[in-house]
Structures are given as structure tokens and as C-alpha cells.
Structure 1
Amino acid sequence: MEDGECDIAIIDGMPPSADGRATMDGTMNRVEQLQEEPCERNDEDERIFVKKWQIACVLMFVLVAVLAAVYFVVIRTKVNRSPHNFYTARSSLEPFYPAPTFPTTEGPQEITRLPEYLLPYNYKVKLRLDLSETTFTGSTTINLRCLQATQVIVLDCIEGNITNASVSVVDLTTADVQVVIDLLYDDSEGRLVVYLGKRLQEGRIYKLEIAEFTGELRTQPPGLYTTDYRHSDGLRQLLVSSLKPMGARYVFPCMDDPAMKATFDVTIEHPKGQTALSNMPSKTKTVLTDGWVREEFYRTPKMSTHLLGFALFDGLTSLEAVISRGRVVRVWAPFDPEENPSVEVALNTTIDAIHNIEQLVPVEYQLTKTDVIPVPGLSVPSSDYCGLLMIRETALFCDGQESSMSQQLKCELAISKAVAHNWFGNSVTVEWWDDLWLTEALSTMLAYESVAYQRPDVNICDLQWDEMIQPAMAADIFSRVDLSSYGHAAAIGEDPAVGGKGIGLLRMLDTIISDKEFLKAIENVLARFSHDNMNRSQFWDAVSEATGFRIDVAAFMEPWVTQLGYPYVSIGRYQERDESRNQYFVQLPFYYSGFVSFMRHLQTITWEIPVTWKSEGQTDTRLLTMTEDKYIIPDETSPEEWVLGNSDSRGFYRVNYDNKNWALLADYLQYNHTLLEPSVRAVLIDDAFNNVRGSILLIPTAMEMTRYLDKEENYVPWRAALDALHYVKTVVHGSCPSSSQCPYHCRLQEYIARKAARVLKRHTFYETSPEKRLLVAVTFKAACQNGNRNVTKRAKIMFDRWKRKRVRIPPDIRESVIHVGISAGDENVWWHVWKQSNASAISAQDRQIFLCGLAASQQEWVLWRYLRYIFEEKGITVQEASLIFKCVTQTKVGRETAWKFVQGNWEKLTSKYADVPSLLKAIIQSTLTGLSTDQHFQQLEHFSSSVQEKYLRDLLDDAVHATRLNQRYIDRNMPYLQDWLKVPCATRVDTRETNP
């Protein structure tokens, strides 16, 4: 046959088989079909074949396009998507932390917790630090236990500039390297997510290594920040850490959850000549080829990330001592410790605090070394990092001969609190930030007990009320943060004004349980949770257990912790128609009327209040636990006897009475004040004046409570009265066009000065009793500030002798004498004090006194020049700028000058301190206090509308409301105050006054 022809025969229309045979049904078998190859195809078959091929090609192209779109659009864009959404779409992988929660109040947003799929047990952290740089580099290795299979590793990390190539994960069980697919930064929560190629297996241990990251050396907390300190040869820099709370993530990638404890191996590389400190003693030092030093530290105990501490400096020298069991304590100072006794005082105070607290609790101080370093301008008096105590410089160095009693007590409390954190904060750590207030309060209470142990001649209850409780109640009125949000507020830069509230609530708990039961609860907590985590629910259970479960402590305490504000209790008496007499107790939320608009919801809140009360005829304290808003009990007292609420001064609530009861209490203070405890007298005065601000009372009632002050021999009631009267003077003076047109302000000053001068006549400037020294200091200051001629004359003489002959000024009144000298002096006097403030050998406390005294000038142009110094190279640090503004605004001319300065230099201020928002807040808050005229109100509204930064605009809006509140205060109370000041001081309460 010719080529191209097929040798196929058609027999009866049936195709033959390969061998010429066909199957019975006319078909070929399957094998034969596969072997058959057609020799030709007609045109119709060819067209059909081509169409099928084209369709196949199109379908293949579409499939490839869809797969490419999935890869580039979905998978490659997961870096920019929320991890919550990503894991919702891929149900095969578990979400690594809950969906974000949104706050229902104006408090800080709750930060979601890390998953517990992986837990760290050891970190190796290496940092390369240099005081002359603004950034740092480092590396970290984290050993992890896998508790649940997961394909992601979630870390807390702020910035860091970490690349995929720098991250590796190794299975330590098999030495297998895990493939890292990608990294995700979740900026909204400060999270770094490592995506792995396959799941980590439950029960295995892994090593996560980040070979390199970078960080910023900030100018303020959190994280690592630098601050200037004064040295004999000028300003030098100090680098310190501030990691509590949520600050470790600013330094290195970690699991910054207080419950996720681990050990730490720290290595710091730094230039030769600089000193590095961390929690543990130095282990080895190696000089590198570039001249730097690599310093390794011993492994830390198991602890939370926020307890890790770092410090780097040059120019500080130390004084050390070895105490029992070879434990080393060192105090560092910017001057020669051998020539300045204040360093030895600080060292001895630290050692005393360790020994005192060891006597109070059943757990010994475990740390082998303790470094104490001074930090200028530290926002809190002290901060402890497990073996590295950072204490505000002015609260660390005190001289028993040259420091005032107030300064000495502040130093002892700051050091004792830092030491006490070894037990509550380091050993017993909170599980989550919402309970941070609890360990802070417990450590502070231990600190006060330590001071009481060391100074039995100081009334610790009075000192605690004056230093912690009264400021906390004053600040809590303006707080948008409840106590359980304390840690979050601190973390996001808010001022946690309710810090002392925790101590107040624990003090109040003492009213329903005994001291013995509370101490037993403390011992149980330390034994049960030593080197472990604790939440407040467990603490409440421990206290309930100590009482034999007689009291449900959680039910009592939780409303106080989780709700804003606090209540006041109105106590009164009335007679029924059947002539039976009853006594009523009514609780209502306390706030300043018209100011705290966001607290209007408090009208629906009730607290369980342990009201302690007694009467004049029945001096035994009784307890009424108020679980409802109103109680009525039979009145067993005489109508002519007073009734006193919060009779042990331990309640975190205010009390109000009917007019007659206020009058009876005022008379009792006048003739028998010593029969009431000093703190109770202070509470009465404080409640009265705050009730005026809350529109519950009118001001004559509060003024009546001060009539007895010239007989008062304790500084705590005096402090309470002067703080309250300072507000009255400020708003009265602020509402006057000028001092010459404000006669009632002058009369009020005369009244205060006369009371203070009478007390001073009974004392000398060299008292030995701590409480008498405190009394002299507070009354001398009151007499000087309010213009008593005899006292200010003595102050001027002492200032002149100091200026000309360097005659020593008694330490308790030094601050007041400097103020008087500057206020009455000319420009030459001002320059003399300015030079003294810059002397190389001056102590931090004296420099603070001089800088604040320079603000007492009564010349506006001098104050303007002084404020301008913060922009110039005058050696004023960032922290001192805040102090200068605070002190300038203590007088009317200073407030007006500071307000004009802020308005005229706003762009300069925000530019210079853009990275120090806390300073701008402090400047605004101090400058805008006491404004009370329509002109001030209009200026504030206009200025607030022009400010872009939200946190500053919020402060200005608060100032607008505060100014309106001041105006209402003046409008409501000025007529009554004028009448009261015109008549003799013994005049009774104005009969026009009513109670709501």
C-alpha cells in the first residue's frame, strides 16, 4: 500500500480488531483501545478537537490566574491585616489572643493578654548601650515550653526593626530548625507575631533567637531613658530603665506579662569608663577589640519582665556595707561619699529597712546584693527592680543635721518602700496589671510600718493620712480611672492619681477585721505566693480565711476597687410625731458639683461602707455597715451632744452633718480638741471644706472648724486646714482685679497668720521632737505666706545673715526663709540666690529649695525672665522646668505671669518638650489652677480650641470646667465669707445655711 493509506477493511460496518477480528459486541477491548492510533481524521473531527483544546487552555489560564491572585492578594497581604481577622479566615490555626475589647468608660483601654500556648523559662538578653547615643542595639534568646500546639509565637514588642533573617526557632528536643515564614507587627497592641512553617509540638521546648534589634533611648519612661544629673564638673547623663508596668517591651522583644516569670541572663556592652548595673552582681568583664567592655551578670531568680533593671553611668561613686549572710548593700552618689554624710545616712536607712521588715514578716530578704542609685526627677519617690533600687535624688540623700524633718521622713519612706517591694512586687507578683495597685499598697504599708519601727515617736497613722490618704481623696475626685485600671493608666502615660487609694481601702478594711487577722493574712499570702503570682481575688480569700470566713472580703472590697470615686455619708437626727428620736445615715456619691460630668452615673452607685461613729456621751466607737443607701436607727444620744462619723479616721469616705452638729463639733474643738485624735481633727476640717466645694455646705461652717487652730499642737490638722484654706485664698484672690481691691483676701490672710503666729510663740526653731519640728515648719510657713509682720521680720533677718555671713538657717524653716528673702529683696538678692543654686557643692535638696524660692519674686518681668531660662542653656534640667512652673504659680502674680508665658510661648514649649508629654501636662495643670474670672474662662476656651494634641486639649477642657467651678464657688460662698470675716472669729454658723 502507498504511504498515507490505511490498511483497514470494513466488514459489514464493523471495525476490525488489531488482528482482523472484532469483538462480539462490535467494540474493542480496553487494552486494544489504548493501543489503537488513528491514521486520519476528517475536518469535523479536527474542528471538535481544536475547540476542546482551546477550552482546556482557557480553563488552565483562569485557574493559574486565580491561584496567583490568592497568593499575592491574600497570603502576601496578611502582614497588613489584623491577626484577629486572619485567624478567623483560617480556622485550622488557633487565634493567639482574644479579640480586642472596647472600654465602656473613659478609662484606659484594657490590653489583651498573651496566649499561654508558650511559656518562657529563660531569657538571654544582650544590650549594647552608650550614654552618648540616642539608640541602642541588642539581641535576645528565649527558651520556651510549648503547652499547646501552635504555629505562631506572639511577643510584646514596640518597634525593634526586626527582620525575618534575624529570627530563628530551634526545637531543642530534636535540634530541628523551624522555618520562619513571616513576621507581623500589630502596632495597635505592640505585638510581634512570628509565623512558622509548621506547628510547634506540645510538650517540647524551643529556642527563639532574635539576633539583632534596635531601640530608642528615650527622654522619659517607659523603657530605657536618659536623664541629666548634676556633677561637680557639670551636667552628666544617667541611663536607667523604667519597665513597670508594660515597659520591658520597649527594650527587648519578650512576653511582658507579669504572670509569665522566667530567669534572665543579662549581658551589657558599654564604653570603657562607664559603669553598668543590673539586678544581679557582675559575673565577668571582657575588654573587646573596639575598646568596649562586655559585662555579664549572674542569672536572676525567676521573675517577671517588668522587674528587670538596667543602669549605665559615669561619675557616680559608691559606699557599701556587708550585712548578715554576706549580703552587700551599695549606695551610689554623684559626689564623694566619704565627704558627705548623707550617703552614709542613706546606706544605714536601707540596711535598717531590710532588718525592720524582716522583723515584721516571716520571709527573709533573699537578694545577695542591693544597689541604690539616685535618679533626678523620678516621677515616683522610688522604684525597685529586684536588687536595683532607683530612688529620686531629693528623696535619697538626707543629712540628719542639715535636712528638715519632713525631708528626712520622705527619705526614710522612699527607701523603705523600695526595699519593701522585695516582698510585695518581687517575691509576690500580681498576675495582671489590674491588680498592680495591691502590691503597691501592701509594700507602702510595710514601708510605713518600717518607719514606725525605727521612729516610735512618730504617729504612723497620722503620717499615713497626711502623706497618702488625704492627697488620694483630693486627686480621686478628678480621676477618670478606677483603682483596677491603675496599672493600665500608668502604662499609657496617664497620671494614676488614685495611687494612694489602695492604702486607704486597706486601712478601711482594718475597721471590719482585727490587726491580728490582717497580719495573719499577710503571713499566709507571703507563705503561699512567695516567688509566685497572685490576684486580688486570692488576696481577698486569704483575708477571709484569716477571719475564719466570718467576712466575705471580696464582696466588701470589689465595689471600691472597680468603681470610680467614693461616697459621703450624711448623718443627722430628727424627731418623729410621737416624740421618739431617730438617727439617719444616708450615703451619696461625692464629687464637686458641675465639674466631673463623666461621673454623673455615680448617682446609681452604692458602696458597702463600714461607718465608724460615736457620740460625745458615748465615746466607744460603734460600727454600722451600710449596704443600702439609707439607714435609720433609734437615737440614744442627747440633742446637745455631737455625733462623729469616721471616728477612727480610717474610712475612705467623707461625712456631712446637720448644721447643729457641725456647730457642736466646732465648739468641742475650741474647748476639748485634745480628746479627739489628731487625724480625726484633720478629717473634720478636710471634710468640711470639701463639702463646701461639693455644694453640700456653705463656707461659714468650714471656717468655724478652724477657730481652734491657735491651740492646735499637731501638724496634721494644720496641714489639712492650710491645704483647704489655700484653695479658698487662691480663688478669692484670682477673682479680684488686683490685690489692692481685694480686702477680704487680706482679711483671710490676717486670720490665718494670726492663728499660726500664736502657735509659734510657744515653740523654738530648734525643737527635737519630730512632730514638733513638723509643726514649727508648717506654722512658720503659714505665718510668712500670709504676711505676719513679726514672723516675716525674723525671716528677713535670718535671710540677711545667711546672705552676708553664711549663718546657718534652721533646716525646718529654710525653705520659708528663702521665699521671704526673695519676695522682699531686689534683683541683686535674686541673682545671689541664683548663683547659690548653681554652686558645684550644693545638695539636690538645697538646689530644689533655691529654685523654688527664686519663683517667689513679686516682679513680673523677673518671673518672665526666669521662665524663659528653660529655653536657654542655664543648666536647668527637664525635671527642674516642671518644678519652676509649679513654684511660680503659688502666687497671684506668678499665676498670671505663667499663664501669659504659656500662651505666648506655646509653640516653643510643645517643640522643646514634644517627647516629654508629662512635663507639658505638669505645666498646664500648675499654671491653670485657681483661674476664676470671665476673662480667664474666655481665654481658656479660645486657647483650648487652638491646641491639636488631644491629651493637652483634654487638660485644657478640664481647666475650663475647673474655672467655671471656681466661679460658682465664689458666687455661692463669697457673701457668706465676707460676713464671716467682718465679725469676730467666735461667731456661730450662719443660720441661712442648709443641707441637701
Structure 2
Amino acid sequence: MGKGFYISKPLGFVLFGLGVGAVLTIFALSVVYSQEKRKNEVNARDGTRMVTTAAPHSTSAPSNEPWDKYRLPDTLLPEYYNVTLWPRLVPDEQGMYIFTGKSGVALTCVKETNLIIIHSNELNFTLTSEMHHAKLTGLGGTSAPVILKTWFQIQTQFMVILLKEKLQVGKSYWLYMEFHGELSDDLGGFYRSQYTENGVKKVVATTQMQPTAARNAFPCFDEPSMKAVFHLTLLHSAGTVALANGMELGTENVTIDDQEVLQTRFEPTEKMSTYLLAFVISEFTNLRSPPEANIRIWGRREAIESGQGDYALSVTFPILKYLENYYNTTYPLSKSDQVALPDFAAGAMENWGLVTYREQSLFYDPKVSSNEDKEWVVTVITHELAHMWFGNLVTMRWWNDLWLNEGFASYVSYLGADYAEPTWNIKDLMVLQQVQRAFGVDALVSSHPLSSREDEVITPDQIDQLFDTITYSKGAAVLRMLSEFLTESAFAKGLHNYLHEYAYSNTVYTDLWKKLQEVSYSSIQLPASINEIMNRWILQMGFPVVTIDTRTGSISQQHFLIQPDAVVDKPSDYNYEWFVPVTWMKSGSNMGQHWLLTKTASYEPMKTDTDWLLANLNVAGYYRVNYDPQNWERLLTQLTADHKNLNMIIHRAQIINITLALRTTKYLYEEKEYIPWESAIRNLEYFFLMFDRTEVYGPLQTYLQRKVKPLFDHFKVITSNWTRKPPRYMDQYNQINAVSMACKTGVKGCSELTRMWYRQWMKNPDSNPIPPNLKITVYCNAIAAGGVEEWDFGWQMFKNSTIAAEAEKLLYGLSCTKEPWLLNRYLEFTIEPNLVRKQDVTFAIVYISGNVIGQPLVWDFVRANWEHITKDYDDGSFFFGRLIQGITKKFSTEFDLQQLQRFKEDIAASSFSFGTQAIEQAIEQTKANIKWVSENKVQVMNWLIEQSA
């Protein structure tokens, strides 16, 4: 699911503050710092290392019968399907939207069996005979056994067909079925989306099959290794257009059941997995590239005709060409369709040849959208197109290796986006956006390894839970590290060989290691095989903190946990030191690399009494670094003296002691560059989360106000009193930081500026004077400073918006009001699908919880309504996980912890079947927050008071 683990821009900043500031930089490493300092004093450096992993999911089946197991038996293989589907875009007499279908699958017997077990979920079948729901015939002159019985196993989502005799090994058969299902609005499987255009309601039939929902559309062997060719035919009403993975072969008028409909047939797909199937029936129109490229951007007519798809069209072709060159492999399909859907749960989905997106992930309007919106579009498109080869052409054998698909696409998205927009320096943002985000979750006891055994990931719920930060961001981080120490050219060459050998088939991650190893033997000196190096990063959870003592040259590693003294079970047998590629430089410009292969080692070149030493250059390795106090002081001095040095800026996030961390902000009054400010703000966000309800908040606000005021004044000057856009691209980003932090800390003139812009807009709703890059900040601060009039205007503009990026900015801004009754009203709106789209419910609720006034309201609301909130979502575990992570980010008291634990007990006692991992992580995070606040509140308060003296 390309960028399938979707976090909206405002939500990303909310969660990132927790993930980076809390886990990475401040509270956890401050514990490490104090421990290391004590060890330094006694010259004893060997701490106890503890590897932990999440307990494996229970996979015990209710019986040993094959239909009671969640995995398909290995007796049959599908070869090709013929599928015809007819979705009704108007409700029937009962008010339901339905679809009807018929499908046949050619299957080959590879092991003798008298059972056919095929996935089917929420489908109702027509009896093809007086007794049975399926019809079986032989192919190639083979006779087919008689069907004795058919039935459905609801828990395992199987149709089971019992045969009188056994199927013959090597023979092929044809299984035919007719069925119907509901075209519901749950955003999964074959579902409906809707929108209004020119006052007329429009309905779209569309799909989201990943990971286990193709079985909701037609009976199929719904596992990624069960690849087959699909022949698709779609029936649809006049005035609509049908799209599928393959190019349309033709559309004709037909009459079925006395109804005249259109029938569109498509070219057969390549051999592919069921989760990559897609079809869309709509009244959409398209933009297209020159015929030789065959690229089409689809969406609502109003959006396409207003130019919202122009940017996507302009970057798709160069990105495809970049990826062809990167993989050294031609794009494997005859066309590339990209469709923007009004309702879509994830960010986008890499269906082969028919990629589906949230509108915000594909559409861009330069008059309304911000730089961040544009960056999001180009990185999501690159992510999805990267999957066309890596994931689609060559596919993981089972979901336990999902990390390889998604981590790789997340990594490559920065390379392709950098190629498409070379002046943006997007690759520089990967440390902030991916590596540090992964650190945040992976430092928890409740984290999990990137790859697990197949038998630990069985049920749909267990599969759903893999679509998380570890899979996407840690996957990207470790692959980036691998590419760095192999070199990008060797990495790309190995990828080409991998894609060439395994095209149209399935692999496990070690197959990639083999191909990378083949190109690495002669050119790169490695301390061990790639398999041995990388297994230590993917088969055990977490990451190391590497401690360097520049006085002695000693270097050591220890598993980094936010609760170093936690006692946890360790079900995994994999418990090894990491093989760590330690890159480093000294102030004398000496640079080098050293592989740390053991728990402790000594490395003389790192010894120094005068130079500062900086390790893990550009944070290319997936590990944190700690130093002796003397080196920390030298680094801090260098940072203050050379604050524009990008390497120093990136590494500042590793400073660990609370006082040291705060001292890095003292020079900010003279800083004007984006990356230092962005790094500082993201790290300081944790302070706001923990202290915005305490007496520390006032001194913190006063301190930061003095730091940001010069930046605010700087932008006021270079924009001619806020009337022009800053000329430099990164300055346009930093202008957002200047205004946002100035308003947050009470800089004089900021609130007045945002209210002035917003009031101008209220006077003339058809002409928004607010600069697109500043809209989130302006909407939030103006609504916070206003009352019901400002909120109602924002709500009306949200409802009227035809641009998804604009709607999301307003969705966020509405959460900023200080009026409790308005926040409660907003919460009630979120569970009304006619008011807030289901795809946006999580984000709206989490936004409100980020408001210090809204957080307790949200917590009460979610506990009272959680079954109602989640019951309609096909991807319930994914949805619930995002919700819990967002609404508990401020929890930092024993009372918060008790409530959270009670909520966990309530869920365990109910029929609710997912979300346990998210709650465990929230409990662990809350405990860490409590510990950090108790250890650091007084220290932070005293330091801030000293600075104001």
C-alpha cells in the first residue's frame, strides 16, 4: 500500500512531535546519558544489553481441518480467472447498493485432494445446481469429480467444496460460481465512494484489495503467492467509464435482464497477485500524456478541468523513466492509469496499471495548495510507481515480508522525487521524515522485528497490523543504510538482477540478499555476508545506541529502549549484536568507517583529546550515537560556532542530556535556515505535549518567544510585510515555522496577522487572501482566537471545498477552537458520514485531541463511542491503531495510565478483535512519559527560569 500507511500532513507533525521529541532525542536518551556519565566516571562501559520483541500472535486453529486454518492448502494453483462484475450505482428497493458477478478459475492440482478451498467473504452465492454453489468441470479432456457438498467457514473466510473423488495431480479444472455482494461504503474490498458535482450526487464503484479483500469482490485464492492471469469484464450504466488493471479492449451495448448496459472488456493482466487487482466505474474524466507513454490521470470532472491533475501528469512520465533507468528494467505494462478517489482509506495503492489515490495524494492546485501538498504528491506518486517493479513484478511470498515492499518504495520515493524536483533537496528530509520516525516506535518494548516467521502472521487482523511505522519507515531506513554501505550503484545493479531473475514470481527477502551479494563480492569489503549483516537488523526488533569514548577510543553498542530497565519476554531466538557500519569524522577533517561487530571494541583512530568527533554521518546508519561528556561539549561548541553546517544540524537531534538538548536552542535567535528550525521544533514539540497543562508552560513559552521573534521579523522584512512569497524554496517552508511558532509563543503581531487574513476572507469568501503555505497556521490560530462566527465560517468553507488539500487544512484548523462546546459539536460531526468523510474521521479526532482543551473531550468521546466509530471500517486494526496513537500522545500521569489500562481491559472483555498492539504501545509510551516528567520537570523548569534571569 504505497504510502498506504497514510498520515496526513497536520497529523504527521502532531505524531512526529511525539515520536521524535519524546522517544528519540530527549527523555530516553537522557536516561542513557546519565547512565553513561556514571560509567565514564568509573571507567566501566559494559552495560547489560537486552533484546526484546513483541510476543508472537497466537495462531492456534480451532481444529486440524484444513478449512479451519487461515492459510490455503498447497494442493491447488490458480492459472487464470474470468471475472465479470456488475456494480449498481443506484440503491435497490431496500436502499442497498449491490453488485452481481460471475467468475471462473482454471486451477491445477499439484497434490492429490478431494477438497477445493477458496477464499470468499461477505458474498452470497447463487446455486448453480439444486444443491451446490459452484460448478466444477475438467479442462483438456479431464473429467471432474462430483461435488458432494459446499459450505462456508466464516471465521477463516473460505468456501469449502467437498468432492466425491480426488482431483488428479497435474490435471486442470474449471471452477465456476455466481454471486452478489454489497457495494458498501467501508473503504475496503469492492466499495462505493460518492461526491456531489453541480448539485448532483455521483457514485463511484472502486476497490481496495490489499491486503485480504479481493475475496470480498469474487471468490479467489487470495494469497500473494497465488499469482494468476485475470480476464476482467465490467458491466456499467450509460454515461460511466470502466477502468481496470489492463487497457480497455472495447465497450459495447448489451441487454441483460431487460436492462441496457455497457460492457467493457480489458486486456488480460500479467501474472499477478490478487491484492493488486483494481477496477473503477465512474463518471470521471482524464488527462493523458502523448500516446506513446499512455499515462492517464483520472478524477472528478470539475477537478480535472480546473487543472488539479496537471502536476501529476507532468511528473509521472519522468518518474517512470527514472525508475526504468534505476532498475535497468522496462516498465512492464502497456499503460499507467492513476485515479483520484473522493473516499480512500490509505494514501494510495499500487494496483498494477491502475494506481488509486486519495485526492490529496494526486491532485495539486498551485493557487490553493501549499509546497507541502506538492511535495506529498510527487513522493506518493514515486512510491506507487516504484512498486510497479518492486512488489508487483516481483512480489513477497507472504505478508511477513511486507516490510521489504513498503520499506523499499518509501526509500526510493525520495530518490525519484529528487529526480523530478532536483531543486527541492528532498533527500535531505529523509532523516527527519523516515529515520527518526522509525526510531520513535522502535525504541518501545512493544515494537516488533521487520520480518517474522510466516506462522506468526496468519489472520487478516495480524496482517493488517503490519501496516505500521516499522514496516514503512524502519524498512526504508535499513534499506537506505544497506544502499549506503554497498554504494547506490551496486545496490541498483543487484536490484536489476533480482527483478530479472524473479519477474512474475514470488520471493523471500533472502533472495534479494543473494542478488546483492553477487554484485558485492569483488568491489566492496564487508565484514560478513549481506545475509548475516542484515538479518541482525530485520529479525530482531529495535536498534543499538553506539557509545564512543573519545578519551580512550573505546566503542560499544547496546540495545536502545526508552525503558532500559524493562523486564520483558524474549520469544525470539534471534539475539545477536548488530553489525554496525560506524562512519565518522573529526574536526580536523579526518573521515573513516569502522564496523562494530561485537558488544565492545577499541578503535584507536577515534581517540582524541582536542578534536570533536561526529559519528554516523548524515545518519545513514540505523542507530543512535552517544559520546563521552567532553566530546558532547566540543560538539555543542562547534554547533554554536557553525550552526549552518548541515551535518551538524542533522546530528543535533542525537544530543541526549536535557540541559544539553535545551542548550542547542540558545543560538536559534540568529538562525534563519529551515532544517535547523524544523529539527528544533519537532524535538521541542515533546516539551509542549508534556508541559502544556503545567506550570512549566509559561516559562517555556517566554523562552521560545525570544528565540523565534527574530525569525518572525526576518520574514516580515523579506516578504515586504507579508505581501510576497519568500524567493527560496526552503525559506517558504521556514516561513511556516516562523509564523506558527510566533503565534504559539505569543510574539506580538502574529495573532493579529492571522486574524486579519482570516477576517478578510470572511468578508469575501470567494477570494482567499491567505498565502497557501500559511493556511494551516492561519486557520488554526484565527479560529483559536475567534468564536462561533469564525468556526462556523471555517466549517462552511470545509463543506464547500472541492479541493482535498484545502479541505484537510480546514479539517485541522477547526480543531483549534478554544470553545469546549464547539469541540464537542465537532466530535459529534465526525461520526456523521454526511458531514465528515469516513476517510477523514481518524484525522479529525486526532486533531481535536492535540488541542489542550480538546484532549479530555476526545478521550471521553472515544471511550463512549469506540465500537460505533470502528465498526464500519474494513481496515479496523489500521484505523484503530492510528486513533489510539494520536489521542494518547499527551498522557503523562498515573491517572492517565489507569484509564488507559482500564480501556484495554474493556476491549479485551468485548468482541473487539483488533488494536491490542496499539494499546500496548500507548501504555508503554504513557509509562515512559510519566517517568520522563518525574525526572525532568524540575530540571527543565529551573533551566528555563535561569535563562530569563
Q: TM-score, normalised by structure 2?
A: 0.84
CA–CA distance in 2 between the matches of 1:942 and 1:258? 38
1:450 corresponds to which residue?
416
CA–CA distance in 2 between the matches of 1:654 and 1:879? 36
Counterpart residue type for residue 890 of structure 1:
G
CA–CA distance in 1 between the matches of 2:384 and 2:561? 33
Q: For structure 2, which runs of at least 5 residues remain unmatched after alignment?
A: 1-52, 61-68
- Mapped contact 1:572–1:583 kept (Cα < 8 A): yes
- Mapped contact 2:84–2:103 kept (Cα < 8 A): yes
CA–CA distance in 2 between the matches of 1:922 and 1:121? 38
1:766 corresponds to which residue?
725
Deviation of residue 116 (structure 1)?
4.2
Change (3 A) 1:107 1:470: farther
Counterpart residue type for residue 168 of structure 1:
K
2:308 corresponds to which residue?
342
Deviations, residues 39-95 of structure 1 (Å, cap 9, x unaligned): xxxxxxxxxxxxxxxxxxxxxxxxxxxxxxxxxxxxxxxxxxxxxxxxxxxxxxxxx
Is it true that 1:491 corresponds to 2:460 in the alignment? no
Change (3 A) 1:107 1:645: farther
Is it true that 1:502 corresponds to 2:475 in the alignment? yes
Match of 1:121 among 79, 88, 91: 79
1:833 corresponds to which residue?
794
Change (3 A) 1:369 1:729: same
Match of 1:548 among 507, 518, 521: 521
Counterpart residue type for residue 515 of structure 2:
A
CA–CA distance in 2 between the matches of 1:821 and 1:484? 46
More displaced stretch, 634-643 vs 591-600: 591-600
Match of 1:306 among 275, 282, 305: 275
2:264 corresponds to which residue?
295
Is it true that 1:137 corresponds to 2:96 in the alignment? no
Is it true that 1:981 corresponds to 2:949 in the alignment? no
Q: For structure 1, which runs of at least 5 residues remain unmatched after alignment?
A: 1-102, 575-581, 689-696, 988-996
2:934 corresponds to which residue?
971
Deviations, residues 304-331 of structure 1 (Å, cap 9, x unaligned): 22221122334x222223342xx42222
Deviation of residue 194 (structure 1)?
2.7
CA–CA distance in 2 between the matches of 1:119 and 1:425? 20
Higher relative contact order (CA 8 A, sep 6+): 2
CA–CA distance in 2 between the matches of 1:558 and 1:502? 13
2:827 corresponds to which residue?
867
Deviation of residue 700 (structure 1)?
1.1
Change (3 A) 1:364 1:153: same
Is it true that 1:363 corresponds to 2:329 in the alignment? yes
- Mapped contact 2:544–2:578 kept (Cα < 8 A): no
Change (3 A) 1:177 1:520: closer
CA–CA distance in 2 between the matches of 1:900 and 1:785? 26
CA–CA distance in 2 between the matches of 1:675 and 1:978? 30
Counterpart residue type for residue 318 of structure 1:
N
Match of 1:720 among 668, 679, 692: 679
- Mapped contact 1:612–1:648 kept (Cα < 8 A): no
Deviation of residue 718 (structure 1)?
2.6
- Mapped contact 2:712–2:738 kept (Cα < 8 A): yes
2:10 corresponds to which residue?
none
Deviations, residues 16-38 of structure 1 (Å, cap 9, x unaligned): xxxxxxxxxxxxxxxxxxxxxxx
Matches within 5 A, 1:630-669: 630-634=600-604, 637-669=607-639
1:746 corresponds to which residue?
701
1:709 corresponds to which residue?
668
Percent identity over paired residues: 25
CA–CA distance in 2 between the matches of 1:426 and 1:912? 29
CA–CA distance in 1 between the matches of 2:572 and 2:671? 37
Is it true that 1:816 corresponds to 2:777 in the alignment? yes
Change (3 A) 1:213 1:782: same
Counterpart residue type for residue 204 of structure 1:
K
1:17 corresponds to which residue?
none
Deviations, residues 888-946 of structure 1 (Å, cap 9, x unaligned): 12221121332343355557646777995654544433222202234434444444444
Change (3 A) 1:675 1:716: closer
Change (3 A) 1:186 1:510: same
Is it true that 1:320 corresponds to 2:288 in the alignment? yes
Deviation of residue 236 (structure 1)?
4.2
CA–CA distance in 2 between the matches of 1:397 and 1:387? 18
* Secondary structure of residue in 1 paired with 2:337: strand
CA–CA distance in 2 between the matches of 1:338 and 1:643? 54
- Mapped contact 2:224–2:274 kept (Cα < 8 A): yes
CA–CA distance in 1 between the matches of 2:120 and 2:338? 29
- Mapped contact 1:220–1:916 kept (Cα < 8 A): no
Deviation of residue 857 (structure 1)?
0.9
CA–CA distance in 2 between the matches of 1:441 and 1:411? 18
* Secondary structure of residue in 2 paired with 1:925: helix
- Mapped contact 1:228–1:877 kept (Cα < 8 A): no
Matches within 5 A, 1:838-849: 838-839=799-800, 842-849=802-809
Deviations, residues 461-489 of structure 1 (Å, cap 9, x unaligned): 31222332222222333454321259877
1:24 corresponds to which residue?
none
More displaced stretch, 747-756 vs 362-371: 747-756
Counterpart residue type for residue 415 of structure 1:
I
Is it true that 1:261 corresponds to 2:227 in the alignment? yes
Match of 1:876 among 808, 826, 836: 836
Deviation of residue 726 (structure 1)?
0.9
Deviation of residue 958 (structure 1)?
4.6
CA–CA distance in 2 between the matches of 1:913 and 1:776? 38
Counterpart residue type for residue 290 of structure 1:
Q
Deviation of residue 849 (structure 1)?
1.0
1:440 corresponds to which residue?
406
Deviation of residue 303 (structure 1)?
1.6
Match of 1:856 among 813, 816, 824: 816
- Mapped contact 1:712–1:759 kept (Cα < 8 A): no
Change (3 A) 1:305 1:917: closer
CA–CA distance in 1 between the matches of 2:58 and 2:476? 22
- Mapped contact 1:749–1:787 kept (Cα < 8 A): no
Counterpart residue type for residue 976 of structure 1:
Q
Deviation of residue 600 (structure 1)?
6.6
* Secondary structure of residue in 1 paired with 2:617: coil
Q: TM-score, normalised by structure 1?
A: 0.80
Deviation of residue 522 (structure 1)?
1.9
- Mapped contact 1:607–1:626 kept (Cα < 8 A): no
Deviation of residue 124 (structure 1)?
0.6
- Mapped contact 1:490–1:496 kept (Cα < 8 A): no
CA–CA distance in 1 between the matches of 2:872 and 2:75? 45
Change (3 A) 1:231 1:560: farther
- Mapped contact 1:466–1:716 kept (Cα < 8 A): no
1:53 corresponds to which residue?
none
* TM-align CA RMSD: 3.2
Deviation of residue 106 (structure 1)?
3.7
- Mapped contact 2:539–2:574 kept (Cα < 8 A): no
CA–CA distance in 2 between the matches of 1:757 and 1:203? 74
Matches within 5 A, 1:144-163: 144-162=107-125
* Secondary structure of residue in 2 paired with 1:280: coil
Matches within 5 A, 1:38-117: 105-107=55-57, 113-117=71-75
Deviation of residue 611 (structure 1)?
3.5
Counterpart residue type for residue 758 of structure 2:
F
Change (3 A) 1:566 1:940: same
Deviations, residues 515-562 of structure 1 (Å, cap 9, x unaligned): 221121122223222333332111101111111265411111112112
Deviation of residue 504 (structure 1)?
0.6
- Mapped contact 2:232–2:268 kept (Cα < 8 A): yes
* Secondary structure of residue in 2 paired with 1:851: helix
Counterpart residue type for residue 881 of structure 1:
V
* Secondary structure of residue in 1 paired with 2:242: strand
CA–CA distance in 1 between the matches of 2:295 and 2:107? 34
